[in-house]
Amino acid sequence: MFGDLFEEDYSSVSNNNGKGKRLKTKALEPPAPREFTNLSGIRNQGGTCYLNSLLQTLHFTPEFREALFSLGLEELGSLEDKDKPDAKVRIIPLQLQRLFAQLLLLDQKAVSTADLTDSFGWTSDEEDFLDLTVAVKNVSGLEDALWNMYVEEEVFDCDNLYHCGNCDRLVKAAKSAKLRKLPPFLTISLLRFNFDFVKCERYKETSCYTFPLRINLKPFCEQSELDDLEYMYDLFSVIIHKGGCYGGHYHVYIKDVDHLGNWQFQEDKSKPDVNLEDIQNKEEVDDPLMILKAILLQEESNLIPVDQLGQKLLKKIGISWNKKYRKQYGPLRKFLQVHSQIFLLSSDESTVRLLKDSSLQAESDIQRNDQRLFKTLTSESLTLNDRPSCPHWFDINDSTVQPIKEKDIEQQFQGKESAYMLFYRKSQLQRPPEARANPRYKVPCHLLSEMDAANIELQIKRAECDSTNNTIELHLHLGPHYHFFNGALHPVVSQTESMWDLTFDKRKTLGDLRQSIFQLLEFWEGDMVLSVAKFVPAGLHVCQTLNGDDLALCEIEITDGEDIFVWNGVEVGGIQIPTGSDCEPLLLNVLHVATSSEGEECQQLIESPHVFPSNAEIGTVFTALAIPEGVILINNTESRGGESWITIPKEDLKKTFREQGLRNGSSVLIQGSNNGNSLLTKQGKWIDTVNEINWLQVRNLSQLESEEEQVKISATLNTVVFDIRIKAIKELKLLKELAENSCLRPIDRNGKLLCPVPDRCTLKEAGLKMGSSLGLCPGKAPTSSQLFLFFALGSDVHPGTEMEIIVEETISVRDCLKIMLDKCGLTGETWHLRKMDWCFEAGEPLCEEDAKLKELMICSGDTLLLIEGKLPPLGFLTVPIWWYQPQGPLHHWKDHQDQTNCTLSQGSVWKASSTPGAPSDAHAEVSLWYLGDLEISEDATLGELKSQAMTLPSLEFSIPSPAFLRAWTVENKRPGRLLRGHQQQLKEYKLGKRTEICLEPLQKEENLGPWDVLLRTQMRLPGKRAYGPPVDVLWDTARGWTASSLRQRVADVYSLPVEKIEIAKYFPDKFAWLPVSSWSQQTTKRKKKKKQDNLQGAPYYLKDGDTIGVKNLLVEDDDDFSTVQDDIGREKLKEVALGKRKRCANFSLALPAWILPQDPVCLRPQCLLHPRAVSPCCLCPRSVCLLPWSLPTSLQRLPEYPQHLPTSPKCSVWSECATLGRTCRSDRDVW
C-alpha cells in the first residue's frame, strides 16, 4: 500500500539537491567546506532523504554515537580485511563509524553514504529503540493519543462480552495497555498515511497534531512509584515529511545536545551588525578607533589576524576600511602602527592584539560614549551562543544545514509539511563537560588520524582548485613589437613573437600586474600603460586604458584570455594611436568602377578592402579613393528580395560610418559624377542590385594565337565554370583540344594569376563576382583532393616571380619540399619551408616535416617560401653566436692571443658606431665577429650555451670557464639585453626563434644578481674633451633606482667624495649627455603627484650596458660633458634631417596638384610603383607615410609618372625598381 512512500517527489522539494536533475560537480573541484553552522549534511543519492534523516538523528544521539565508537577492531574487524575469505568483518558498523567520524570531523559541506548503502542491509534483527506507533486521525495531539492507548479502558459488556478461558463463559471485562519499562530513547511514529475505503485511495492526514517539547510518561506506565524525573522525556529530533502520500521529501529538525555546531542565523551574519540609523551620533561611527576596539574585545585573548580585522569591520558597519577611512587615516596597518599605545602588531604585522591596559579603558569608553553601539556588537552573539538554557536546533535537509529556533517546531504540527517521526530522550541523561563543543570526543584514534589526513588532502585540493579558478591567462601585446597602419595595430615580425602569455591571479591588483610585467620585460624603458585590446578584422585595436592600481583584476572585469596592450599610452612607432570603441576600425568592401588608361570609366567593377575609423565621416571614402565627388550607396542586407543598394543623400555624408549602421564586412558602392558610361545607370534610373552585371571577361593566356585577346561571356552566379570555359574557347576560336587541357584562373587588380577555379563549381561557389576577369590558361585545374600552391626561393619575393605547383593535400611537408627543390633544380638537406603571411613576408616555419599540408591548414592559393637553412628539431633553437669586443683591443685577451698566434675569423664583421661602450675614442665602433650557429635545446641553461659556444671552431681563444663570458642579445646589430642567471633556462628568457646572442670576454668570473645593473663608466680627462677607458661598474638597485644611490656607487668606484663628482648618461643615437645630478622630479597629468625618483623611467631609461660619464669637480667644474666627436655627430644628424626635408619637398612639388594636399598619399616609391591589393603600403617600419593609403591607380597610369620621382642618391637598385616596377628592398635608403 505504501510501496513508493519513500520515493522523492521532486515537484514538491524546496531546498535540496534533488530537483529533477542531480547537482553536477566539476570533476577537478573538491567538495565544498562546511558552512557557517560548522555542521555537515549528507548528500542525497536519490530517494535517500529518509535514510539521511534517520542517520543524522542517530549521529546527534551522543550515547548511541559513543557506544558505536566503543566497538573496537576485536569486535568488528577491519575494512582492509573485508575481501579475505576467512576474515570476520562487520562492514555495516565499520562504515557507520566512518560516516559518523566524517560528520564530526571532515571539513565538507556534505558527506556521502555510498560506502554505507553499498553494504547496508535494509532490515536488521536488532532494534535499539522502542517504536510506538500512534494514530493521527481524529486525535488532537500526542498526549491525547497516548491517553487513548494507555489510560482509557475498553469495556466488554452487554452484547460485547469477553469469553473467559478459565471459567469457559462470557463475562464482563475491561482491557487496557500500560508501558512496563521505559527505554532511554523513545521513538514515536505518527500514522500520517491512511487509506480511504470509500474512495479506495491513499491520503495523507494533514490535520493539526501537537506534540510537546517535554513529556511526562508517568500516567501511561504500569509502575508509578518512582520519582517524576524518571518519566520525563525531552524532544531532540523530528523527522518531517513534505509532500503527499504518493511522494515527497524528508528532512529533520535536530537538537544539538553537545553544541557541536555554530548556532548563528545566516540573516544575522550576512547583514551588518550595526545599523547606522540606530546610532544617534554619526561622529561616533566615523571614529575607527572605537569600532576596532569593539571588534577586538569580542575576540579570544583580544587577538585577530589583520586581514580578518578588515573583514569583520566590513560585516559590522557594512562598508570597507578603504572606502570609509583610508582617505583620512591611511591604510589599516598604518593606522594600527600609529596607535601603538592601543594596538600591538606582531613582528611580521600579520596579527594585532589589544593591549591589556587599553582593553579595560576601551570597554569603559565604549560603554560610556556609545552604549547602544557596544550592545549591538556584542550582546546578540552572547545571547544566541552562550546562554546555557537556550537549546540549539538545526534543520538538516540532506546537504544543507540551517539553524532554527525552538518555536519553529510548532510550524510542523499540521499541513503538507508536518512531523512524521518524533524522537525523545530521557531528561536525566547528562553529557560530560568535556564532550561539549568537542567533536573529537571518544572518536577512535585510527578514525581521528584518517580524518586529519583527509582534511589535509582537502585543504591541498581546495588550494589548488582555488588557484586554478582564480588564475587567468592574459595575452600581452608589446607596443615596441607593433606598428600602426591601415587604421589598426599589426605585429612587426609575427604574432607569436609579438604576444606573450602571462598566467596571473585575478584577485591581485592592477598594480601587481604592472609590476610583474616590469619584471618580465627587463628591456622596457619609460612609463608603462596597460590597455584592454581586441582583435578586429582590420587588426588589433586598443579599447580601454586600465586605471586604478589598487583595484583587483576581477573588480575591473578582466577575464580569462583578455588581450592586454602594453605601451606608453601615447604612440606606437612615432604614430599617435586612436583608442576607444568610438574609433574602432571597420574593414569595408568598397566597390567602384575601374578607370581605363585614358582616364575614362570602363565596364568593370573593382572591389577592394579599405579600413576606416567608426567615427569618421562616410564622405572620407571619396578622399581614400581619390574621387573628387560622386554618390555613395550602401548594401541593404535587410531587403527581402536579396541584396540591394541604398543611396546616401548628400546631407548624410557628414554622418559617421557607425551612424549609418555599417559593420565589418559591409559593402560600399561608389558611383562617380560622370554617369554617361556608368554600369550603375539604366534608362536614367538607379538599379536596385549589382546582379544586373551578367558577364565575365576571359583573356586568352593559352599561348595560342586567336583573333581576339579577350571576350565577354554572359553568365549568372549559378553558371558552372566548365560552361564558361567551353564558351570562351569557342568565341576565341581556339582548338577544341584545348578543352581537355585548360583551366580558368582569376586575375587580380595587379594582373597576377590566382589559383585555378575547378570546373565543377558554380561562380557563386568559387567566390567569383560578375565583371571579374579570368585567364584561360593551359593545364588542368586541381581536383578536390589537390592543392594549387605558389612558391618562391628566398624571402625577398618580387610580384610575378612565384612558381606554381599542384600537390595532393595529404602530402607531407618533407615531400612537398623535395618536389619544390627538384623543380628549382636544387639539392641538399639545408632547406625548409615557410608560409608567406598577410604582410607578404616570411612567416613561421613549417617545423613538423612529417605533418600533412591539410593538417597545417595549407590551402590552395597559399604561397610557400623556400628558405635556406635546416630547421632545428622541436624544442631546439638555432642561435647565431657573435663575439663582442667593446673596447677595440682585446686587453688581457690580446696577450694570450699573441702567445698562441691565434686570430679571430674575420669572415663576418658587424660594426655599429655610437654604442653604449664608449663615447670618446670610444666613439669607437662596436665590432661583432660572427662565430657560428648553435643548435641547442630550449631547456638548456645559459651556462650550457656558453659552454657550447666555447667549442665553436671560429673561437680561437682559450677561455677558463663559461663564467668568464657575458651574454647579450643582439638588437639592431649591437648588444641589447643582458642575459643574467647562469643556471636559468633559455626558454625563460623568451628569446624567440630569431634571437642572436653575442658573448663578451671578462677578466674575472661574474655572477650577476637580479638587482645588479651593469654600467660602463668613463672618467673625463681634465682639460680635454675626451674620456678615459671604460670601467664596468655593478650597481645594486635592491634599494631603488635613485640618483643618489648611483652617485654614491660611482663615487666609491673612483674613491672620490660624492659631492665632488658629476655624472651624466650618454645617448649615442643623439650624441647627447644628460646630467643625472640636475634631474628634477616631474608631475604627470593624470595624477597630480610627484613621480618616484626612478632612473628606469623618463628621461633616463637607464638599463644594462649604458655609458655613464664621470667628472671630477676637484679638477674641472664646467657643465660640459660632450666631446669633439659628439659635435661632429650632431652636425651629421642635422645634415641628414635637412636632406630628408628637401627630398620630401621636391617630391611633393613634382606630384600633380589635384592630389595634393587633400589626398592621402604614401611617399614611398615602392608604394607608388607597386600598390598592393589591400594597400599595405607601410610594411617597412622605417618608412614615413602621410596617411596609410596607397596612391590612386589613376595617378599610376599617368605617362609621366616615373619622371616625377626623384632618383635616390644612395639606392643602387633604384633604376631597376623604376624599370621593372619592383619593390625597393635596399637597406641603405628607404623613402
Task: Say how far apart CA 669 and CA 482 lie, in whole Å.
Answer: 32
The C-alpha cell that represents 985 in the structure block: 633556462
C-alpha distances (whole Å) from 330 to each of 316, 337, 681, 761 are 20, 11, 74, 73
Task: Give the burial class of 350: count Cβ atoms within 10 A of its Cβ; 0-12 exposed, 13-18 middle, 19 or more buried.
Answer: exposed
Task: Say how far apart CA 931 and CA 800 lie, in whole Å.
Answer: 37
Write phi, then psi, for 30 (nearest 5 degrees).
-70, 165
C-alpha distances (whole Å) from 220 to each of 225, 426, 581 are 13, 15, 83
Q: Which residues pair with 164 in a beta bridge?
A: 169
The C-alpha cell that represents 554 in the structure block: 576581477
For the CA atoms of 454, 456, 460, 465, the dihedral, rounded to the nearest 10 degrees, stands at 50
Q: Which residues pair with 173 in a beta bridge?
A: 156
Residue in 1020, 1019, 976, 1014 with CA at minimum distance from that of residue 994: 976
Largest CA distance in the chain: 149
Neighbours of 560 (CB within 10 A): 9
The one catalytic residue among 241, 249, 541, 592: 249
49 among known catalytic residues: yes
Say which residues have a Cβ less than 8 Å from residue 1026's Cβ, sequence separation at least 6.
920, 921, 1020, 1123, 1124
- 829-833 own/partner pairs: CB under 8 Å, 24+ apart: 829/870, 830/868, 830/869, 830/870, 831/866, 831/867, 831/868, 831/869, 831/870, 832/867, 832/869, 832/870, 832/871, 833/864, 833/865, 833/866, 833/867
CB 419 within 8 Å of CB 63: no
Torsional class of 951: left (φ above 0), alpha (ψ -120 to 50), beta (otherwise): alpha
CA-angle at 1184, arms to 1181 and 1186, nearest 5°: 130
Q: Which residues pair with 485 in a beta bridge?
A: 488
Residue in 1020, 943, 942, 947 with CA at minimum distance from that of residue 987: 942
Task: Say how far apart CA 71 and CA 317 lie, in whole Å.
Answer: 51
Torsional class of 872: left (φ above 0), alpha (ψ -120 to 50), beta (otherwise): beta
- Supply the DSSP string of 1071-1098, one letter for each residue: TEEEESTT----B-SSS-SBPP--TTST
Task: Say how far apart CA 295 and CA 289 lie, in whole Å.
Answer: 10
CA-angle at 477, arms to 475 and 480, nearest 5°: 160
The one catalytic residue among 49, 755, 777, 1211: 49
In the chain, what is the straight-line distance between the N-terminal and C-terminal CA atoms, in Å? Answer: 97
Residue in 906, 904, 972 with CA at minimum distance from that of residue 1227: 972
Residue in 394, 399, 403 with CA at minimum distance from that of residue 32: 399
- Supply the DSSP string of 1150-1187, one letter for each residue: HS-GGGTTTS-----HHHHH---TT--TT-STT---SS
CB 863 within 8 Å of CB 802: yes
CB 563 within 8 Å of CB 535: yes
β strands within 614-655, DSSP E: 630-636, 644-647
Task: Say how far apart CA 249 and CA 11 lie, in whole Å.
Answer: 10
To which residue does cell 654600467 refer? 1015
249 among known catalytic residues: yes
Active site members: 49, 249
